[in-house]
Structure 1
């Protein structure tokens, strides 16, 4: 699975102008079963997206669809890892690596 660490590099006004389109981007990939969880960082300097295990090439294509990336409003850090232990109730995370 992947953790996408998103850092805003433009003003919050720029981010807010893209937010509606960004939410549609998120909803699309949730409906496809690719995104697991997402949310804003606190303080609001970016966001985090948990992504199931897909090919790196497919992940790059998805990231490039994000209006934050397309408009140069945010940078993405891609972290790949394999969850091997998790708290009770979060076993679905283990399935995200298959």
Structure 2
């Protein structure tokens, strides 16, 4: 599992021009059950995605499709982790 932390490197006006395409990208990976949640950071300096993938190679491949990546709108920090304690409702996402 990976926490993907995006940090905008362009002004919000430019971010907004690619937002609809970015949402389409997100929807694609929600439909494939690869994304668990996503949202804007506060203050609005980027975003966060929780990705249910097994390898860094897989998440890197996915990120390369993001219009924010393609158009150099954001930088990405990848944090790999294994959930070891979680709410029972989250169990469906945890690979055993």
What is the TM-score of this pair, normalised by structure 1? 0.91
Backbone CA RMSD of aligned residues = 1.2
Alignment of 1:19-98 (within 5 A): 19-93=19-93, 95=94, 97=95
Contact 2:3 2:50 in 1 (8 A): yes
Aligned length: 96
What is the TM-score of this pair, normalised by structure 2? 0.93
* Distance apart, 1:90 and its partner CA: 2.3
Contact 2:53 2:59 in 1 (8 A): no
Give the unaligned 5+ runs of structure 1: none
Give the unaligned 5+ runs of structure 2: none
Stretches (4+) displaced over 3 A: none
